[in-house]
Chains A and B, each alone.
Chain A
């Protein structure tokens, strides 16, 4: 069973461009979580999605950031008009169900560098 996959692993963008980060959850998992880790900081929750629904986006910046998890295909985290402060590692995790006891399985992350 393949783990959580993220691509690209590294992404370089110039200020003002768009960044698209993809996350394929583990097989059978319908819950996806995105986290961001700024340089020298801890991981911060951004958004939690279930197939075709955003459940909790309380950690996502209100502007320029959006996320989706379509019925078919990977979850996408989209950052429009990137700025240098968006440079970070973005991790996605998946779980088979929701629940406070549920384990989350993390991907290797996408490291975004904004020039």
Chain B
């Protein structure tokens, strides 16, 4: 599986936008970019995914670079409940097992 690189941690203030970066320079043409998050003491939760075009849903937006070597998860207005570890994952094999890295721990201050 292609590897992703994320910052270990980021901080944000409540109600401010948050941009979580992910580098995936060895991404292949068939790899989807998935984002999951894990709140403390809970199972991972799907956030968003995309292939080439930018994607929006009720939780977040995903901005994918034109060369697909990087992407950014955008939380438009962070809340305390968004404090979690965010994982950027590529999947490109025949089925969808997920390879989790260390992710980015997002801290949100009131």
Contacts and interface: CB of A to CB of B under 8 A. Distances in A.
A102 B46 CA distance: 11
B96 A100 contact: yes
* Interface magnitude class on chain A: 20 to 34
A69 interface: no
A101 B96 contact: yes
B45 interface: yes
Interface stretch (B14-22, B62-70, B100-108): B100-108
B9 interface: no
Given A42-B100, A42-B101, A42-B103, A98 B46 contact: no
B33 to A, nearest CB: 10
Contacts of A4: 43
Nearest to A111: B41
A101 B49 contact: yes
Interface in B27-45: 30-32, 34, 38, 42-45
B62 to A, nearest CB: 13
Interface in B46-80: 46, 49, 51
A45 B51 contact: no
Contacts of B49: 101, 103
B43 A44 contact: no
A45 B92 CA distance: 15
Interface of B: 30-32, 34, 38, 42-46, 49, 51, 87, 91-103
21 contacts: A33-B97, A33-B98, A35-B100, A42-B101, A42-B102, A43-B98, A48-B97, A56-B95, A59-B97, A91-B43, A91-B44, A99-B95, A100-B30, A100-B91, A100-B92, A100-B95, A101-B49, A101-B91, A103-B34, A104-B44, A106-B43
Interface of A: 4, 31, 33, 35, 42-45, 48, 55-56, 59, 91, 93, 95, 98-109
